[in-house]
Structure formats: C-alpha cells, structure tokens
C-alpha cells in the first residue's frame, strides 16, 4: 500500500512539477502499460497456482484474458499516441479494450447467483438504488448525447455505443460485488479486486464524457477531467494489483472464495461448525466438516493459522470479538457470509484447564435460544448448532443429528483436554467411519444403528483417555438437553445412545 501511495503521489507530482508533455508520457502512456502488464503477469501466476480447482481457474482465466487484452490495448494506444498518430477512431486498441471488457462482463455474469444470495436486507436496497443511479447517469451524460447527436461515422457510433453497453453491466457488477465483499467476509484481497474493477470502469466513463465534450487534453492542454481520468485509471490498476498480490500471497482460503464466486448453483450445506483458538486467535482445532465443505479435509495443516485467515474475515473483527470475550467470556452473533449464505460467528471463552476460545459458525437465525445474558455451555452450543442443520425432522435425519453432535463434542473435548495432536488423531481415526455410519442411516441399512452405536462407544472410550469422566458426563448432559426430546427419542429408537463408561 505504501508503494502504491508513493506511485500515485509520483503521478500527481508529475502533473504539478513537470512539463505537460513529459507528465502525459508518464501518466498516460508509461504507467498504464507497466501496471497492466504487471496485473496480467500476476493474474496468470494465480491462474497457474489454481490448477487443482477448475472453478478458480475459470475465474482467473477470465481475469487474465481481460487484463491481457487491456495491456495490448494500452500498448497500441501508446504507439498510436507517440508514433503512429493515426487520427481515425476507432483504432486497433479499441478492439482489445472491448475484448477485455467483454471478458469482465462474462466474469460478472458468473456472480449473479452469489450476489443474489449475498445482497440481503439493506444492501439489496442500496444495490438497487445505485444501479438506478448508474443507469440514469450513464444514460443522461453519455448515452443520450451519443444518440441525440450521433457521429457521422457509423463505425465510430457503433463502437462508442458498444463501449457503453459493456460499461454499464461492468460498473453494476463491480459495485454490487464490492458491496457484497466490503466487510471482508470473503477476504480483503477480493474486496480490493472488486474496488479496482469499479474504479477502472468509472474512470473510463469519465474519459468518454470528456472525449465527447472535447475536454480530454483539448489542443494538448490539461483539464480537470483529463487529469482526473489519468489518476483514477492509474489508481484502479494499483488497487487491482494490491488485491491480486494479497490473493497470490495467501492461496487459502481464496480458492474457496473463487468456488463461491464461480459456482454458487449447487448450494453448500448450512451446517454449524466449531473451531478452537488460543487467546490471540490462532487455531488449534478446525471442525473437519467445515474443511470438507471448503473442499479440503486436511485439518492439521491449518493449526496455528490465524482464525481470520481461515474463515476469510477481517482480523480486526476477530480482535474485536476477543476483546469482548475478556469482558464477558462470550460474544454476540457477528454476521458473516460463507458460500454465499448468511452465517453468525459466535465465540465462547473457557479458562480451564487452559485458556481457549470456542468459535461457532451457525446459519443466521439458527442460533435461537442462545442467551447473551448468561454464558452458554459448550454442549448446549453444539446442540443448537447440530439441531439447526436438520433439513427435515425425519427419524433418520434426527438420528444423524445426534451422531454429528456427539462426535463434534468428543472431538472438541479431545482437542481441549489433550491438545491439538490428540484432537487431530481423533478426527483421523473416527471421521471416515462416522461418514460410513451416517450414510448407512440415510440408506436405511438394518445394522446401521448397531454399527453407529458401537462406533460412538469406541469414540467415547478414546475421549476418556484424555477427558475427565465427570467433564465428559457433564458435557454430554448439556448436549442432550440442548438437542431436545425429539432428537433423543430418534436416537434411542435407532439404538444409538452409548453407555457412558466409568473411567
């Protein structure tokens, strides 16, 4: 950011202290080529790094193609401005600019479902209002004069109109994407990328307005609009580069972000996940269901990562919640967006046997019953979490909810009392069999209940190696009380409730 600020100040200083021809050479010709070429190279490097994820590759292929086309356009623009000096418009640079714009329109078209899910409540109202503003502004200041006083050159008229027909969805897409991401819930890198896109399109609208009214360096004289366009154009590339650099330097969880942006047609499960961290927000346990939903089951790989980096939320949010925990040992729900859906992030602080913070991610509106006036117990948190994932209250789904709740509780207790390695070993040992057991219940296998009960018994005996029996009994009572009678009856009917062994 400091480098970007210095570069932008250098661009301003060129206009202030250097003769106009030299300032224009730097800001109109040199800067855009260098920045666009860097952006293309960086985008291509990210594209290469996403070879295992086709959805992410699709995103970065479009952005690389767009930036590459703009780079060629900037090169041809500069050659024409300095060497060829062809008076005709349109020129070959317009072909490449339009190609880049079209690639970006396709990119935004992939976001429609995500934006429809992410823009809820007041943000949907703001998005609709700004779309109206953009449409009215572009129509009044640029498109209407173009139609009322059409150019005598039909090719010039068609190309100018085509620019505007592409700019409008680009500007709407960039603004709505910024609005959906600005809170950082999908990562600061993508927030900056979307802001850079918006400024790029907005600056080009200024250029078209200035060109139409002969205000872009008329008679080789600088005007406010010409300088404003040059600086905004440079700034848009700088912000794009910053966002892409952040994305390049942190490949996780950005790939998951791109899967959301590229696909949201297949809905993700609205499960509730539990994470553990120390007092500073570094994770020691990540719910394997969350990793599976993100497409990566390697839980141990992310131990020690900042919680904000794993969830893609701003670090200052995490620090704010941690400060809140020092005062009252629990936090209220903080809204985040995962997989294009609204979730609540809650936290609970435990002091014994060692300071630890439980983080709960629950579908928004599914945490009802949790009171912020008293400290909720972990078992109750998990109960409300799993109970909120039952798609329909059928016996099989309720029994599966019981199994997921118990396994989640045991894995968390193992990590809490035995440490990170014990928690990871628990997951590695029992998680595959848990999936088999849940699948058997879904398919109605006759022996599924007995198989699942035996697995729960083994998991409980494993947990008792590190968890005091009184603590495990207490946590199980809290869990079952929170799950409710309907879930317990379904679990009992399926023969799932294990006997709590003395240890």
CA 184 to chain centre: 7
Residue 204, both tokens: 């080009």
Residue labelled with tokens 């990170």: 420
What's the Cα-to-Cα distance from 444 to each of 50, 56, 148, 224, 396, rounded to whole Å? 39, 37, 70, 73, 8
CA 301 to chain centre: 20
What's the Cα-to-Cα distance from 15 to each of 21, 40, 277, rounded to whole Å? 10, 27, 51
CA 406 to chain centre: 30
C-beta separation of 435 from 489 below 8 A: no
Instruction: Pick the more confident residue, 287 or 473.
Output: 473
CA atoms within 13 A on the CB side of 199: 20
Q: How far apart are CA 273 and CA 344, in angstroms?
A: 11
Residue 158, both tokens: 């068609």
3-state SS, 40-63, equals: HHHHHHHHHHCCCCHHHHHHHHHH
Q: How far apart are CA 74 and CA 465, in angstroms?
A: 66
- Whole-number average pLDDT of the chain: 78
What's the Cα-to-Cα distance from 284 to each of 131, 276, 348, 354, 381, rounded to whole Å? 44, 6, 15, 12, 19
Instruction: Report pLDDT for 361.
Output: 83
C-beta separation of 331 from 365 below 8 A: no
Q: Is the pLDDT of residue 284 over 80?
A: no
Q: 288-323 pLDDT, tens per residue?
A: 677 766 655 555 556 667 788 777 777 788 888 888
Instruction: Report pLDDT for 265.
Output: 44
Question: Is 370 in a helix, a strand, or coil?
Answer: coil
Q: How far apart are CA 250 and CA 246, in angstroms?
A: 6
Q: How far apart are CA 262 and CA 110, in angstroms?
A: 5
Q: Which of 345, 377, 369 is CA-nearest to residue 359?
A: 345
Q: How far apart are CA 134 and CA 60, in angstroms?
A: 27
CA distance from start to end of the chain: 57
Q: Which of 400, 419, 418, 408 is CA-nearest to residue 478?
A: 408
Q: 360-386 pLDDT, tens per residue?
A: 887 776 655 555 455 667 777 777 667
Q: Average pLDDT for residues 78-92, to the nearest whole number?
A: 75
pTM beyond cutoff 0.85: no
Strand partners, 328: none
Q: 98-127 pLDDT, tens per residue?
A: 999 999 999 998 888 777 767 767 778 888
Instruction: Report pLDDT for 387.
Output: 67
Q: 135-162 pLDDT, tens per residue?
A: 888 888 777 777 777 766 777 778 888 8
Instruction: Report pLDDT for 398.
Output: 83
Residue 338's contacts (CB-CB under 8 Å, 6 or more residues apart) are: 185, 260, 268, 311, 361
C-beta separation of 138 from 167 below 8 A: yes
Instruction: Report pLDDT for 266.
Output: 52
Phi-psi region of 373 (alpha: psi -120 to 50; beta: other; left: phi over 0): alpha
Residue 481, both tokens: 């009380």
Q: 448-483 pLDDT, tens per residue?
A: 778 888 888 888 888 888 888 888 888 888 888 888
Question: Is 216 in a helix, a strand, or coil?
Answer: coil
Residue 259, both tokens: 């899967």
CA angle 180, 183, 184 (to 5 degrees): 95
């Amino acid at each position: 950011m400091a480098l970007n600020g210095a570069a932008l100040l250098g661009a301003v200083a060129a206009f202030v202290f250097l003769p106009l021809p030299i300032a224009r050479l730097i800001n109109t010709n040199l800067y855009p080529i260098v920045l666009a070429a860097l952006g293309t190279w960086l985008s291509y490097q990210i594209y290469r790094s996403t070879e295992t994820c086709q959805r992410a590759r699709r995103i970065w292929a479009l952005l690389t193609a767009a930036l590459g086309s703009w780079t060629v356009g900037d090169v041809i623009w500069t050659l024409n401005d300095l060497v060829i000096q062809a008076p005709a418009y349109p020129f070959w640079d317009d072909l490449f600019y339009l190609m880049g714009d079209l690639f970006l329109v396709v990119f935004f078209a992939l976001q429609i479902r995500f934006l429809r899910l992410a823009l809820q409540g007041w943000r949907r109202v703001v998005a609709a209002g700004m779309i109206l503003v953009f449409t009215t502004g572009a129509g009044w200041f640029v498109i209407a004069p173009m139609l009322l006083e059409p150019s005598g050159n039909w090719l010039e008229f068609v190309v100018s109109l085509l620019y505007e027909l592409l700019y409008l969805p680009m500007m709407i897409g960039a603004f709505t994407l910024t609005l959906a991401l600005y809170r950082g819930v999908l990562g600061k890198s993508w927030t900056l990328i979307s802001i850079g896109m918006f400024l790029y399109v907005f600056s080009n609208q200024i250029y078209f307005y200035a060109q139409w009214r002969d205000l872009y360096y008329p008679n080789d004289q600088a005007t406010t609009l010409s300088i404003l366009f040059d600086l905004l154009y440079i700034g848009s590339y700088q912000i794009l580069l910053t966002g892409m650099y952040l994305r390049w330097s942190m490949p996780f969880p950005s790939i998951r972000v791109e899967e959301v942006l590229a696909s949201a047609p297949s809905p993700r499960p609205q499960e509730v996940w539990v994470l553990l961290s120390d007092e500073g927000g570094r994770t020691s346990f990540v719910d394997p269901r969350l990793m599976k939903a993100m497409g990566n089951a390697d839980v141990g790989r992310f131990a020690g990562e900042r919680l904000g980096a794993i969830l893609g939320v701003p670090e200052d949010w995490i620090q704010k919640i941690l400060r809140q925990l020092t005062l009252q040992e629990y936090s209220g729900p903080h809204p985040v967006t995962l997989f294009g859906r609204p979730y609540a992030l809650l936290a609970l602080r435990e002091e014994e046997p060692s300071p630890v913070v439980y983080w709960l991610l629950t579908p928004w509106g599914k945490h009802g019953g949790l009171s912020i006036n008293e400290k909720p117990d972990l078992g109750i948190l998990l109960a409300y979490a799993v109970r909120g994932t039952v798609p329909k209250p059928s016996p099989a789904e309720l029994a599966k909810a019981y199994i997921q709740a118990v396994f989640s509780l045991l894995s968390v207790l193992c990590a809490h009392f035995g440490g990170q390695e014990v928690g990871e070993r628990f997951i590695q040992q029992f998680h595959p069999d848990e999936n088999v057991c849940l699948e058997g219940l879904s398919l109605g296998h006759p022996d599924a209940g007995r198989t699942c009960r035996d697995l729960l018994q083994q998991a409980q005996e494993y947990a008792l190696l590190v968890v005091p029996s009184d603590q495990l009994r207490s946590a199980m009572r809290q869990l079952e009380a929170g799950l409710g009678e309907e879930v317990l009856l379904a679990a009992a009917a399926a023969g799932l409730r294990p006997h709590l062994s003395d240890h």
